[in-house]
Structure formats: C-alpha cells, structure tokens
Amino acid sequence: MVAAVAAPCVIGVDIGGTKVLAGVVDADLGVHHRVQRPSQGHDTIRLLDTLAAMVRGAADAAPGEVLGVGFGVPAVLDRRHGVIAACPHLPLVGVPFETLMAERVSLPVAVDNDANAAMLAEWRHGAARGVDDAVMLTIGTGIGGGIVSAGRLLRGATGGGAEIGHMVVDLDGPPCQGACPGRGHYEYYASGNAIGRAGAEAATREPASALARELAAGREITGALVTELAHDGDAAARAAVELVGHRLGCGIVSLVNIFNPEVVVVGGGAIAAGELLLAPARREVERHAMPSLRDAVRIVPAAFGSESGLLGAATLAFEELRGA
C-alpha cells in the first residue's frame, strides 16, 4: 500500500501588539500546530529572530510541504518602498519586513496588515462570506480595520488603508497608544485596553465590586479580567464592558454611514465579551446610523473568533504564494 501524501500547507503568523500566534494551516483552514509568544519587550532584531524561530518550529511540525508563510502585521505598510511605514505598538518602523523574514525563514513570504488578513479570512470563509461590501474591526490592544468594497479588499494608495482604529473621534482627546502621535483616536475609547481602563475606573468607583476586590489583591485590571468578571455577573465589570460597547457602536455608526456595508464583523481578543459588547454597539447603530444604511447592515462576531488573524495570514499565503 502506498502511503498517502499530506497536502501542502502554509504557516500563518498573526502578530499582535501583545502576542504572536503562529500555526500550520491546510487548505481547508485546519490548524495542525500552534505556537504563541509575547510580542512585547523585544528590540527589532530580537523580534524578527523570534518570529523566524516560531516559523521554523512550525515548519518542523508541518504534516506536509510548506508552500510559504503569511504574516499579518499590526502596521501601516508602504508597498511602494517595501517597508513598514508606521507600527505604534512594535519596533518595526522602516523595516523591510518581507525581505528580512524571507531571508530568515528561507521560504516565500506574503505580508499584509493584520486586520486586512483577518478580513480576508472572514470574507473568503467566515462571517462575511458571499458579500461584496463588508467592514471588519479587530479589537485587541488597539483596533485594526479591514474593508471590502465592491468585492475588493481595500488597501489604499500605498498599502496603508483601513486604519480604522486611528479614526479621530475627539480632536482634544487623550494621546493615542504606543508610538502613534495622534490624539482622540477610536482605539483609545473602544479597544481591549479601553475595557481594562474602564474596569480600573469602575474598581475605584465601586469598592464593593469584584473588580475592586481584584484590584485590592494586586491584580492588574486588564480587558480580559474585566470581561471574565462581567461574564461572572459583576455589575461594575458589566457596566465597563457595556460602556466600551457603546463607544464601539458610535464608531460603527460612522463606518456604516461611509461604507454602506452589508455586514460589520467584530473580531480580535475582545470579542470574548460577546453580546455584552455587541448589544450596546448595535443599539447605537440603531439609534444614530442613517436609516436606509442601518437597515441594510448586520453586526456580527467573527466566525473564527480570535483566530481570524492567524487564518487570514494563512489565507493570504495561499492566495499569493500558491504556484509562485
């Protein structure tokens, strides 16, 4: 009997502002191996070397031929010059990322913004499948954005389009996160970090809450902790998540009014909050979006949850590298 030959696969790498997730992915989006590492605390060379080591480890675990690697990077890409133009959370500005990673891993490499990659996965295979106009928000350390318009993924004039998290919502607002020079940006108010900040404020305001007890015990009030306590029924934590959901919805109103999407997909780590986050967002859209546009849109969680970025990076690799 001749042994079956495993089908070719790719390695998808989702680089977030806090962590990196890599996996071996087959053409049916089955993930055969996962590895996760922190993305913070590295200088540029160490971060690139860490990514290369993760790819090599994943390749060693692959069940078949590895066609290449797809990277989703939380950055503004400059495709004209082949470099990363802006990266608020990681030391990658000015780096010719695709070239350097191809040298390090000795495999073909495809690179896109991480939220563009997540949008690609949800559009091809997930919650936005079958539509020609869609918006995706990936909510984690910040907010990433991906947009499909008239059946095309929008990347902008130079490759840096759809930076929805850096949409200005308050000209006199607080400084943006990381190395971003702006103020009053959407992601400050509606990201996973925003849930953590809202929870920390609630902990000091509500001394009888579970949030306050966790703070008194020395725990950091993160978005993940606030979400956990909200699901457990802590009223202060639920209010914090709902506040951020309201702010999230205010931004979605603008996106609905501008792009007239059939679906808005919400993904990233913060989608663990589920309807606690999405229900107040939908209420804001119901109240404030233009009626004809509001009535045409659905606001839904990502089909692939927090793995949209990983699977999107893999989808990118299959589409750009197959037969290359």
Place of tokens 């696969």: 9
Token couple for 298: 């659905």
pLDDT exceeds 60 at position 4: no
- Packing angle, helices 114-125 and 308-321, rounded to 10: 80
Share of the chain above pLDDT 70, in %: 98
- Packing angle, helices 97-105 and 44-61, rounded to 10: 50
- Give the CATH architecture of domain 9-119+308-321: 2-Layer Sandwich (3.30)
Asked if 263 and 222 touch (Cβ cutoff 8 Å), the reply is no
Fold classified for 129-302: Nucleotidyltransferase; domain 5 (3.30.420)
Phi, psi angle pair for 249, to nearest 5°: -65, -35
**Which residues face 264 on adjacent strands?**
135, 299
pLDDT exceeds 90 at position 41: no
Asked if 192 and 145 touch (Cβ cutoff 8 Å), the reply is no
User: pLDDT of 119-139, one tens digit each?
Assistant: 999 999 999 999 999 999 999
Domain boundaries, the chain: 9-119+308-321, 129-302
**Hey, do 9-119+308-321 and 129-302 end up sharing a CATH topology, with the first three levels equal?**
yes
- Strand runs labelled E in 48-200: 66-73, 76-78, 83-86, 109-113, 134-139, 143-149, 152-153
**Euclidean distance between CA atoms 193 and 170, whole angstroms:** 18
User: pLDDT of 266-307, one tens digit each?
Assistant: 999 899 999 999 999 999 999 999 999 999 999 999 999 888
**Which residues face 301 on adjacent strands?**
266
pLDDT, position 40: 82
